[in-house]
Structure 1
């Protein structure tokens, strides 16, 4: 099964090269960096590091992810952030349940690994993850602990989900739709650290945190009663 790594990126010039260098050699057939309207050298540095760059000028995490999906025919897609907060070295463990036929969607859980300090994940982000995870457990009967964007999914499964949320709600929509349709979800423990450089677009600002909470919780509730 071929693997494509999709990395949405918005003004991550300082970290993108380090992220690409940390992806295990030979693991993916291709790596796509989706430049979501950056005003810095993100695209140039990604190209220099050997990635394929796709441009998506419509701002939004979901738009960027969808552009990466449309650009590949790989059997499995891995979604990875461009800020080096995740550990690309753990990608093989993320892929293993799908490659062995035991799962359709694998989610990297930062909470299963433990040791998350306030400096790594601020209280508002921690609470938002906890609340959304609890709602999913109650409404969809799925034992999830985190909404981590570091995840792997089969291409045919993702296309069947008919993704519509083009904002911060993209990862949530993937999870709840997969649960409703009976696909196999599993979590593995992944490590997490402070971003390599810059400020988070979500937890780094009050506006970002509020918008993320609105879209994530709204998406979680919307599909529960459809």
Structure 2
């Protein structure tokens, strides 16, 4: 696992993000990665009902950013979109990026550094550690995240502070060899459970900022997904 890192695959699941997806792509374009690492952007449009597909195609025509677009013919869920994108990744490393503006691509280098320094194989970006900016929003969401992380840690024997974070970076060969099943927001506890059982995998966590959205601004996760996460924690740790 000590080969030179030359390319980062950025996997973006997208659903009804036509109005703003150009903004996250602009941010990715502006990022200068450490060691001149190249970018590969893989967008999976999960059968959006708006003009997400057309907005991405317009962007691709006017940008030098290397983008590959895949379109699901039916809506399958965020996890299913991630499965498609991860399978198609060709970079040495893979990072998950939501299509909204809650996470800042300028922090890719923060996640990359433990890998480039030779310490990590997987890096989680925590919204609950460090001194970076965090938008103040939903109290019960923050409590729910901490409960889910604690429950996950109890079974995986990890000491993560933010299991539910979007920003997860993996060596490609590690994430591609996992048999991932969850098609919606259960991706987070499932991938954490399965990563924790991989032999000799070094998992690190770094602090990141967080610019959360309200539901009016397009936030999609809800309390039902929280109960599904609990089910997934139990399923992928107890009944593996």
Q: SS state of the match for residue 92, structure 1?
A: helix
Question: Cα deviations across residues 130-169 of structure 1 (Å, max 9, x unaligned)?
Answer: 0111112222210111110112111111122211111111
Which residue of the partner structure matches residue 45 of structure 1? 55
CA distance in 1, matches of 2:160, 2:121: 15
Listed as ranges, the gaps of 5+ residues in structure 1 are: 203-208
Of residues 209, 218, 233 in structure 2, which corresponds to 1:191?
209
Normalising by the residue count of structure 1, what TM-score does the alignment of the two structures yield? 0.88
Residue 19 of structure 2 aligns to a residue in which SS? helix
Deviates more, 1:10-19 or 1:39-48: 39-48
Distance in 1, Cα, partners of 2:155 & 2:8: 32
From 9, 15, 19, give the equivalent of 2:20: 15
- Select which of 134, 142, 145 maps to 1:129: 145
1:32 is matched with 42
| 3-state SS, counterpart of residue 222 of structure 1 | helix
Q: Which protein is bigger by CA-based radius of gyration?
A: 2
Question: Which whole-Å CA distance do the structure 1 matches of 2:135 and 2:25 have between them?
Answer: 26
**Structure 2 unaligned regions, length at least 5:** 61-66
Q: Corresponding residue for 1:99?
A: 116
Corresponding residue pairs, total: 218
Across the aligned residues of Structure 1 and Structure 2, the Cα RMSD in angstroms comes to: 2.0
Equivalents in 2 of 1:99, 1:172: separation in Å?
Answer: 26
Deviation at 1:126, TM superposition (A): 0.9
- So what's the TM-score if we normalise by structure 2? 0.83
Moved more, 61-70 or 40-49: 40-49
